[in-house]
Amino acid sequence: MRNSSAYTVVMPLLIYYGITHNIQEEKIMTPMMPLTTPIEELVEKKHSEYLKKAKLFSISYYAIRLMAGLSAALLPFTIRTSVLWSTIFSVVIVMVTVLDLVFAPKDRWVLYSKATDLLAVAKIKARGDYEEHKEALEIITQTETANLQQLINLDDLVSKIDKASSSRRSE
């Protein structure tokens, strides 16, 4: 007699990974895997590509903001004490601003992250599992969208840092 709770947990995983278990013969058999179509291969390739790009642009987004923020915060303290460091911080601010304008990591992160989410949902729909997990998938999608909407522009970041350092200097 099979343990029904273990069977209901393990069996879908075995089916998902292309392995079925013949309970009566106690043998594990690998069925003929369904052939993937060129469309499925393209979708999988693009999903992987978009995921990598989303990661790259998220790292770029935070690296640029971190360099700009730290440089803008340290610049006022080095103007009178070190011309070299003041120049370095100024150049860093200019360089990361140009990188931000040219590569637009925020916009591209949003684009590829949203594409990754939509492709994941489309693949789940194609497998027929969407209705069962619809509520959870909608929560994930809404959370991702809200998270991406909270990203700050570089100009706003530098302005906030300038205001904060100006108020500290005037005290």
**Span between the terminal Cα atoms of the chain, in Å:** 79
- Alpha-carbon span 139 to 145, nearest angstrom: 10
For the stretch 139-159, pLDDT in tens is 988 898 888 888 877 777 777
Percentage of residues in the chain having pLDDT higher than 90: 43
User: Residue 171: pLDDT above 60?
Assistant: no
pLDDT reported for residue 60: 94
- Alpha-carbon span 32 to 75, nearest angstrom: 65
Ranking 14-18, 49-53, 109-113, 163-167 by mean pLDDT, the lowest is: 14-18
At residue 20 the predicted structure's pLDDT band, cuts being 50, 70 and 90, is very low
Instruction: State the Cα torsion 8-13-18-24 to the nearest 10°.
Output: -30
59 compared with 21, residue with greater pLDDT? 59
Name every residue whose Cβ is closer than 8 Å to that of residue 18 and which is 6 or more positions away in sequence.
30, 31, 33
For the stretch 105-122, pLDDT in tens is 999 999 999 999 999 888
Is residue 83 a contact partner of residue 117, using CB atoms and an 8 Å limit? no
At residue 25 the predicted structure's pLDDT band, cuts being 50, 70 and 90, is very low
Query: Which H or E run contains 99?
Result: helix 83-103
